[in-house]
Amino acid sequence: MASETFDSLVLQAKEAIELKDWEMARPVLQQALSIKSDLPDLHYNLATVCFQLEDLSAAAFHFKEVTRLDPLRAGAYINLGAVLNLLDRLDEAIDMLRRGLQLDPHRAEGYYNLGLVHRRKGQKDMAIQAYREAVRVNPRMADAHYNMANLFMDKEQYGQATAAYKQALQLRPNWDRAKQGYARAKDLLDASSATHSAIASQPPPPMPEFGKSTTPPKKLDPDRMVDPIMHGQLLNNLHRATIESENYSRHFVKLLESEIEPAIKELSSCLLHPSSATNDLGQCVSKFEKAMNSMRGLQRELQSTMERIRTIGDQLIES
């Protein structure tokens, strides 16, 4: 009689699950488990029903029971990992997902869920690798392509993002979010390419040709001595010019770090992310040109000082 009751409960639960009547299926499965509590399939089905009813704690409990009763069932570990992720138990989720993938490395959904957890932990590269594994196992997993594209966008790798969005759209052509992502990635890729082309097309500012002379270098007399009295003024001028050149060189490096580099970054950001830019394009270009003019001015001063040093050196040699 008990056997007939148990079989009847299992049949009722099966019919309720097929009809997606989760509210009906849950008490029937619970009653069946009160008769036979050591059947992993009953726990698996009840875990699935609890998940559909958004009772995540109960779903996690029953999936865990499946892993206890049937330690080689890869799907139970993967589903448990997915539920633990939703419960914010991220480290446990990773452990369960990896365990399931060790048992069955051909479960694309396992890699997919692993990607979800790694992204939540801020581990973007690991998440990308997990999604790559998911689409390797199942190239038609559009969500994995889409999520991977979003991560490439976060990393400002617009070419790879464009390709991943395109893969997602090939599988789901009418996916609005993927269309929007693709359009934005394409725009940013084009803007980035234009910025790099513009920078590359500009000739670098002329660098000072320190000590350049059209006359052949003069030979020094190895026995010649510099007389502090006779050459005192020249030596003093040489000392001051050397200090000036050192100061200009120091200012030149500081200008590169404090003005040129930030101006380039701001200009690039304005082109790539116009909606979040603090200044408009005209202001960014003006700031960049101002920084470049300052650098050219310093170059001229440095070159002039080096010419003075060369001239003083010639005068010392000739005196």
pLDDT digits (tens, 9 = 90+) for 37-87: 999 999 999 999 999 999 999 999 999 999 999 999 999 999 999 999 999
- The residue among 119, 148, 117, 146 whose CA lies nearest residue 131 is 148
At residue 52, the pLDDT reads 97
Average pLDDT, the chain: 84
Residue 70 confidence (pLDDT): 96
Give Cα separations from 133 to 75, 110, 181, 184 (angstroms). Answer: 17, 10, 22, 25
Lowest mean pLDDT among 24-28, 190-194, 242-246: 190-194
Which whole number is the average pLDDT over 16-20? 95
269, pLDDT greater than 70: no
pLDDT tens digits, 156-212? 999 999 999 999 999 999 999 999 999 999 999 888 766 555 555 556 555 555 545
Q: Give the model's confidence band at 107: pLDDT under 50 very low, under 70 low, under 90 confident, else very high.
A: very high
Instruction: List the domain boundaries for the chain.
Output: 2-200, 215-318
* Rounded average pLDDT over 114-135: 96
2-200 placed in CATH 3.20.20.10: no
**pLDDT value of residue 197:** 57
**Tens digits of per-residue pLDDT, 207-229?**
555 545 445 555 555 555 555 55
